[in-house]
Structure 1
């Protein structure tokens, strides 16, 4: 979201109407993420079915099948290839989104960025505190403190697109910005807290590769045959260094240029994101979910979810912690700064988005595996807690979104109205003199057509009432 408009020159408007370019970008991203969210959900359901039916043995054999060059330390299982390899594509797109927000979006202006950043940070800190409090109080394992911190952008945007169709685009943009900052937090946490046995030689070589990637890109060198092999080498070196390999994807995404030069219709980052986002949302994330979400669910396992301190911390962290953190951060920031909520919206709308932010799926599942890498049983119960918390957040958010969407249907209709048929919503052209000329001509043409139809109808009446 670009910096919000001013109200009477004094207070900035929180969740105000988006500029046209931002609104168009958001609509395109939403279409891709909606499909990706549905595929992600389908993959999770299939994984649960496979893990809880007679097909469990085959599923485990496939998930644990190893392949890859042993000499390069890349003889990984299928599940690890999905976690360390395919998810790199997801984090690459996340890096591009973050760069775009920093250069041209909500995070460009420190004043405009304060509210979503504070909301996102509070939405990470509060769930972690809830988890730690329950884990320490119940004698549990505190290593999973970061599991409930992340928001799944594909899943959340998919739910918002399906259930929040009547909501204005500014709410969608707020959720997207939250998720982008969330992803940044997850990246830092994974790199700092869930990387071990760092090889500085491999890490240094990866940094050199990233430097070469940046140099070639900003010198205007083009061609996938240059960057794809280089990206694979950088990824391999990052994996060998002990730093989680997905960090390489984020770093390369952040290096892409987001500005448009003379003769360009779009920036390289926007063009590459347009090509890669469908691969991320439609392939990388669903395949990861297929091999990560397959946990055995039984009556005993579900009881553990609500009784064990680690799993209860995950569920409450996602459902209550995210809601309190995101909503509380937004309210406090608006209360003590010059940000003012859009008068056409209500704090109940922010609450609905805050509950939706509790859908922590992809990154939460990843951190569950990293946090409890030496305890497969605890990792599986943590994943079950992630699925439970995300499901509860989806249901609660869905109810709120449907309720609020009905109230805001007219606001969205006003955003999309295009009477002159030029492809640009009228609300974005109201200050354009050419728009008023086109509208005047359109109204005159409609009036002339009405007069003509009235004259035709009058002549017909004369003929019908005349002598037989």
Structure 2
């Protein structure tokens, strides 16, 4: 008797980008609201930096950015700009690691059928822009180092744009954009760790494992060590996290990698008294919810805007300076990669995945929706600016041209995506009210109950 072939339909459904479960819908909606506020603050901070850097008082801006302070023997005598990129941005990546783990352990993406499309699209949205940039700069070896600049999507910036131009898009597309951005930020951090780390010290890396291991142990055993208190864990874990960050920075590996590792160490499932894992409840939050509640306002309201303020400031040099930047292959490569490469990579990868798994988009969605979100994913800012500084060094000519390119490409992607998504928004506005119908008045829209939640 021959062995039967595996049933592919059990692994991959016939429909992808389906509506999420109602609890997941509420959780994602809350994250989107917070990130949207952070995106607005980011735009304000970046605008002030650009205006200041091109004003008669530009010398004061650059003097503040380049002011150094810290403790030299610990490799921590850094400029204000580096403290913002290496220190404050670690908080942002801590939340990125925490959110990614939450999605794959307890969210809808714990099922491969839901995870495969956004994860594959994220990889496509990284590979294709990197290839486009490399092709443009192939004849210029000194600029090839910036190949990773256009690989990441800025979560806060993109969601802020989405909130302004399209308030009625289906939740599945918003989840898709959020997941895609988180995953490609993680890919960008992996690229930074492997390709932009220099003079790595194994001694400091080994010492880093000590506070990281203690952090993981205490985080996993938090109910036993801290009981029912919600203040104890983060007060004790915070010094361990800072020590992990400091040793990672001293090792030569970019310190923001420590933020992702610490985020992965936090359990996202709450432990019951008998030791069994369980999903957190509103009245009994897990450690991940406690830490997210503490640190997300710090990230969206302070860390990312401050980083944007000290990284986005570039002296354009008027019309002549902008014309000089247009001739730089760095600018050409970044603009083409973000504006064309991102949607091409996302659309192409999604199309391949759906065809190889014999799946289709959810009937309530259109490929035009995915195309608009793909263009919006070309809004690269926070991580792109970080990789840019690592590629060319702050203040260099290519660094300034790359910043102009990142800003230009992000604004172009935002405008183009608004054209596509606004037209789709009109369509979804007409059917939005139908999805809010709750005939049995149980507080859950009937459209979610129809799918068996």
TM-score by length of 2: 0.90
The CA distance in 2 between the partners of 1:273 and 1:301, in whole Å, is 43
Q: Does 1:231 align with 2:241?
A: yes
- Aligned partner of 1:268 in structure 2 is 287
The CA distance in 1 between the partners of 2:204 and 2:128, in whole Å, is 36
Secondary structure in 1 aligned to 2:443? coil
Distance 1:431 1:345, change over 3 A: closer
Instruction: Decide which structure has the larger Cα Rg and report it.
Output: 1
Shift of 1:116: 1.3
- Aligned partner of 1:325 in structure 2 is 345
What's the CA shift string for 1:154-189, capped at 9, x where partnerless? 111111122120111000000011011101101100
What's the CA shift string for 1:198-231, capped at 9, x where partnerless? 1111111111211111111112234222111111
- Aligned partner of 1:124 in structure 2 is 126
What's the CA shift string for 1:27-83, capped at 9, x where partnerless? 100110110000000011000001000120111111111111222221111101100
CA contact (8 A) 2:369 2:424 kept: yes
Q: Which moved more, 1:356-365 or 1:303-312?
A: 303-312
CA contact (8 A) 2:168 2:428 kept: yes
Secondary structure in 2 aligned to 1:141? helix
Distance 1:215 1:7, change over 3 A: closer
Q: How does 1:204-353 map to 2 (within 5 A)?
A: 204-220=206-222, 221-222=225-226, 223=232, 224-262=234-272, 265-297=284-316, 298-353=318-373
- Aligned partner of 1:147 in structure 2 is 149
TM-score by length of 1: 0.87
The CA distance in 1 between the partners of 2:247 and 2:415, in whole Å, is 42
The CA distance in 2 between the partners of 1:287 and 1:374, in whole Å, is 16
Shift of 1:138: 5.3
- Aligned partner of 1:179 in structure 2 is 181
- Aligned partner of 1:465 in structure 2 is none
- Aligned partner of 1:197 in structure 2 is 199
Shift of 1:124: 0.4
Secondary structure in 2 aligned to 1:98? helix
Unaligned runs of 5+ in 1: 1-5, 436-468
What's the CA shift string for 1:327-369, capped at 9, x where partnerless? 1111121122132111121100000000000011000000000
Q: Which moved more, 1:296-305 or 1:250-259?
A: 296-305
Shift of 1:421: 4.4
CA contact (8 A) 2:12 2:113 kept: no
- Aligned partner of 1:188 in structure 2 is 190
CA contact (8 A) 2:154 2:381 kept: yes
The CA distance in 1 between the partners of 2:103 and 2:323, in whole Å, is 42
What's the CA shift string for 1:64-105, capped at 9, x where partnerless? 111112222211111011000000000000000111122123
CA contact (8 A) 2:11 2:112 kept: no
Secondary structure in 1 aligned to 2:137? helix
Distance 1:312 1:10, change over 3 A: closer
Secondary structure in 2 aligned to 1:63? helix
Unaligned runs of 5+ in 2: 1-7, 227-231, 274-279
Distance 1:308 1:219, change over 3 A: same
Distance 1:9 1:364, change over 3 A: closer
Secondary structure in 2 aligned to 1:177? helix
The CA distance in 2 between the partners of 1:161 and 1:408, in whole Å, is 14
Shift of 1:430: 4.2
CA-based RMSD: 2.1
Aligned residues: 428
Shift of 1:416: 2.8
The CA distance in 2 between the partners of 1:321 and 1:311, in whole Å, is 14
What's the CA shift string for 1:307-335, capped at 9, x where partnerless? 22111001110000001001111112112
The CA distance in 2 between the partners of 1:166 and 1:124, in whole Å, is 28
Secondary structure in 1 aligned to 2:271? coil
Distance 1:374 1:89, change over 3 A: closer
Distance 1:173 1:7, change over 3 A: farther
CA contact (8 A) 1:126 1:317 kept: yes
CA contact (8 A) 1:301 1:381 kept: no
Shift of 1:11: 3.8
Secondary structure in 2 aligned to 1:274? helix
Secondary structure in 2 aligned to 1:31? helix
The CA distance in 1 between the partners of 2:12 and 2:50, in whole Å, is 53
- Aligned partner of 1:397 in structure 2 is 417
The CA distance in 1 between the partners of 2:252 and 2:12, in whole Å, is 50
